[in-house]
Structure 1
Amino acid sequence: MKPISYFRLLYAPAFLLVAFFLFAACDKDDEPEITSLQLRNDPTLGSYMADSAGRTLYVFSRDVSGQSLCSGSCLTAWPVFYSGTLRLPKELNATDFATITRSDGSKQSTFKGWPLYYYDQDLAAGDVKGENVNNVWFVVNPDFKLMIARQGTDLYLTDMDGRTLYTFSPDGVNQSTCNGPCLANWPAFLAENFKMPSLLSSTDFQTITRSDGAKQLSYKGKPLYYFVNDSQRGDIKGKDVGNVWFLATP
């Protein structure tokens, strides 16, 4: 039988201890970052989302497709928000949050498909200085049912899931003339008791009763519709169809 090395006996416990801490450190690095979100209240904007430190979260109108179009100097002013695991208050639904991979390979958290950002000019908890910057940056209110999208020079309304909203030029003031096959292709949009970005005014919206007894939301007197051929968020296939269907523009 070979004799047991004295040095092996002496240093084995130390080796095992070092290995344990190295394993623990690696295991810790593999754990997803956990961030708590909270809902704060602003006297003007109402409820909005912030991280656990009170830093406000924003969405960018150009991200309507679900991918981030903010890069370079934009990203310097509007840093990405990302957390591997979110701890949410009871008012928020975990299914509304997801993670995307940006074009640079980094991760970003989303809410209802909208990538989330901070604003570098928000220096204190509760700051909302990024609201309505350039008419394309907005705080995230979980009660939003409408959002403002921008593609190229087009600024228009969508629902919170990024589906485009349209108006029909033959319609009268707060009166829909789209029925039958028209309505099958251009479903009426309805949202009630909702909040909206500060660029919009609640006085411009009204719930109307259609001739079939159904309800529909109008904007500045024009009933709002979807287009069935818009199969993905960000689609604007109904734009200028027949020269009578138009993007609902603020």
Structure 2
Amino acid sequence: GRPSVRDAIATWARDNRVALRTHVVTDVEALLSARSSGESVVPATIALISGTGSIAWGRDATGREARAGGWGSLLGDEGSGYALVVSALRAITRAADEAVPLPAYAASLLEELGVVDLPELPAKLARMSRHEIARLATPLCTRFAENEVAVLLDDVAVQLARLVICVARKLQLSEDDYELVLGGGVLNGVLSLQQQLLVQLAAADLRPHSTRCLTDVAGEAARLAVTLAGMNP
């Protein structure tokens, strides 16, 4: 998270006496703190989120951290749910321009958006938040197995793998050196994407030692708060 945003949230929490002490972290940092129990855990963890945005963040045994992605939609949130839906909609508009059949998912996706006539699409999207658009990614992927969606998912898997690979290389990790923690609606909601992601990482000789999906980010944040307060979880 940007320091200016963290400072603003911390100031609000302090002014409103939310707690005696405050420590502002991002959702990916909360996931990064969610280590597996047991003594066999590998020393490094990489957290990967694909939801409204996309980001990978890693920490090794020495406490060194590295990140990749998280630049926002203007600079690139490739691999995010938002980017996936926008790519699907662009495929629809390209097909309309070229007067070829629309992708098989077009009717359902436009119905989800409440768009009856395609020319209404730009105005509809302008009234929606990035989060609202990103929420369409999971139903898009789970309802359709056509080639059009498969191609979109292939690209998402490549982009997400790139983020993990960037972090792993910055931390000088090798295959089986790290645990991969997955978060966000897209990664948690689409099993085939998880599988494709692991295929991409294996092709780069950077398959993780283990992989976990975490949906309770709020719970992980609470456990992190307990840890930061110097208490036993």
Q: TM-score range by the shorter chain?
A: under 0.3
Q: TM-score, normalised by structure 2?
A: 0.25
Pick the structure with greater CA Rg. 1
- Does 1 or 2 have the higher relative contact order (CA < 8 Å, sep 6+)? 2
Q: TM-score, normalised by structure 1?
A: 0.24
The answer to which structure has the higher helix fraction is 2
